[in-house]
A = this chain, B = another copy of it.
Amino acid sequence: MPKLDLDAIPQTNATGYPAPFDTQVEGRHYRRLAPAASLAQLRASHVVLEPGAWSSQRHWHRDLDEMLVMISGEAVLVEDDGETLVLAGDVVAWAAGAKNGHHLQNRSDKPCVYVVASAGDYDADSGEYSDIDMVFDAEGYARKDGTRYPVTRLP
């Protein structure tokens, strides 16, 4: 059934972020769509972001293109050069290698719902977090001096 039965796909707010960077994503409830749809090249998550929650720590990817479609509600897109309100029907895209950290913050009083998709070289991908002492690669997370955080990055 190509139309996804979203209710049948497990929803989680799990994160591999080391403390204290995990607290801002506690209200991020996501479903991984690619495994449910047997997609191997396009990955996507269906996300419900509770009021106050962030989509991630602000980051950018070296090897992945990302695109987000806001389905309902609203959130604030934060980037190096400022903030942009993202409303239902808006589309946001980030090209691989563009070193402009981005994330969404739900500052409204209602959940927002979006789908975020990505494509690229998942094994080679790495990137950096803009506001905290953290970088990532396929293996996990490290400080910007290279010291690994003792955590596992979730797929």
Contact = CB atoms under 8 A, between A and B. Distances in A.
Interface residues of A, number: 45
Contact of A90 (B3, B41, B84, B120): B3
Task: State the oligomeric state as a number of copies.
Answer: 2
**Most-contacted residue by chain B among A34, A65, A115 (CB, 10 A):** A65
A8 interface: no
* Interface secondary structure of A, over-half rule: strand
Interface stretch (A19-27, A49-57, A92-100, A144-152): A92-100
21 contacts: A3-B77, A3-B84, A4-B92, A33-B93, A34-B93, A37-B95, A39-B95, A41-B65, A41-B119, A41-B120, A42-B42, A42-B66, A42-B120, A44-B93, A44-B117, A67-B117, A69-B115, A71-B88, A71-B89, A89-B113, A117-B119
